[in-house]
């Protein structure tokens, strides 16, 4: 009688709990008296309910309108020359400098330009003012941004010490050296032309590859 009751209970559980074959074997093993460490599941299998989905509206038209408004404001400031003092991030001799008009930067190491030479910075990564910032990907076109500097002095650094020692080998050397420095004065940081306006026909002149 007891065995029949166990079989009926096992059949009812197998019909109500929709689990995999492995879990069914575990449940039947517990009912039949076999030793398993895991007992019946704590929670019955519930039907999966899809989470609430958020419907996104197409905002491409709105984004284009905002973009056009920003470009118009920037072009208006550039046309009226009311953008104020501009700053730029340039790459020179493998290093990046944040510069503005009348700044003085020091380029360390040997560099060809001599005192009095004017240099146009071709690698301009960023130009901005108090109201807007233009970021290159990775560089801004040279026809849009103009950054110019003048070499004012070629000099040497202070005396530096280079000390080498290998312990327990009776090896010890001390040398002194000076690094060449080039001082560059930034003459102008300008934005020439309108932003986001391209010519009908463009060549490769002024492009950096």
Please write the tens of the pLDDT for every residue from 74-83.
999 999 989 9
Q: What is the mean pLDDT of the chain?
A: 81
pLDDT value for 67: 87
| Beta strand spans in 37-178 (E) | 87-92, 95-100, 104-108, 118-120, 124-128, 133-135, 145-156, 160-166, 171-177
Q: What is the pLDDT of residues 190-209, one digit of tens each?
A: 998 888 877 766 666 656 55
CB atoms within 10 A of CB 147: 26
Query: Mean of the pLDDT values across residues 78-100?
Result: 93
Half-sphere exposure (Cβ direction) of 85: Cα atoms closer than 13 Å: 7
Q: CB of 45 within 8 A of CB of 18?
A: yes
| pLDDT beyond 80 at 52 | no
Which one is predicted more confidently, 172 or 22? 172
| pLDDT beyond 60 at 98 | yes
What phi and psi, each to the nearest 5 degrees, are found at residue 33? 100, 5
- Rounded Cα distance between 190 and 90, Å, is 13
pLDDT value for 36: 45
| pLDDT beyond 50 at 45 | yes
Q: pLDDT band for 64, please (50, 70, 90 cuts).
A: confident
CB atoms within 10 A of CB 92: 19
- State the burial class of residue 185 (Cβ atoms within 10 Å of its Cβ: 0-12, 13-18, 19+): middle
| pLDDT beyond 70 at 51 | no
Query: Which residues, in sequence order, are bridge partners of residue 135?
Result: 126
């Amino acid at each position: 009688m007891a065995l029949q009751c166990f079989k009926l209970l096992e059949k009812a559980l197998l019909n109500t709990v929709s689990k995999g074959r492995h879990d069914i074997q575990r449940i039947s093993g517990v009912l039949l008296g076999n030793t398993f460490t895991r007992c019946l599941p704590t929670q019955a299998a519930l039907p999966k309910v899809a989470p609430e989905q958020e419907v996104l509206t197409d905002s491409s038209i709105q984004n284009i309108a905002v973009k056009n408004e920003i470009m118009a404001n920037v072009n208006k400031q550039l046309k009226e020359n009311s953008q104020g003092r501009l700053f730029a991030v340039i790459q020179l001799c493998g290093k990046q400098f944040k510069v503005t008009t009348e700044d003085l930067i020091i380029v360390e190491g040997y560099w060809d330009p001599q005192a009095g030479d004017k240099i146009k910075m071709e690698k301009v990564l960023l130009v901005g003012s108090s109201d807007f910032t233009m970021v290159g990907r990775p560089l801004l076109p040279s026809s849009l941004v103009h950054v110019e500097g003048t070499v004012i002095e070629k000099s040497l650094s202070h005396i530096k010490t280079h000390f080498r020692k290998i312990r327990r080998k009776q090896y010890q050397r001390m040398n002194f050296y000076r690094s060449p420095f080039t001082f560059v004065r930034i003459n102008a940081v300008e934005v020439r032309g309108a932003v986001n306006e391209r010519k009908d026909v463009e060549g490769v002149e002024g492009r950096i590859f």
